[in-house]
Amino acid sequence: MENLPLQNEKKIIKLEGELRLIHHKIDTIKDNHLLHIDQKINNIYKVIWFVAALGITSLVNMVMTILK
């Protein structure tokens, strides 16, 4: 049976490996996935602003036509 310090050392090495893997996954999410999500949200905002501007323009045109 292995002694306690050797068992603890193996567990610490295992935990360090798992910690590196978690850090790598967080970096991947932060650098890649969040960027793509941000780009998609910005595209949605552009479409919303375009539709709002088109609606306001149509409304102003309708009011001007009614007032003539």
Cα distances (angstroms) measured from residue 41 to each of 27, 31, 47, 57: 21, 16, 10, 24
Q: What is the pLDDT of residues 51-64, one digit of tens each?
A: 999 999 999 999 99
Q: Which is more confidently placed, 67 or 1? A: 67
pLDDT band at 1 (very low <50, low <70, confident <90, very high): low
Mean pLDDT of all residues belonging to the chain: 92
Determine the average pLDDT of the residues in 10-20. 94
Q: What is the pTM of this model?
A: 0.57
Q: Is 6 or 52 the better-scoring residue by pLDDT?
A: 52
Would you list the domain boundaries of the chain?
Answer: 1-68
Q: Is the dihedral of CA 53, 56, 62, 64 positive or negative?
A: negative
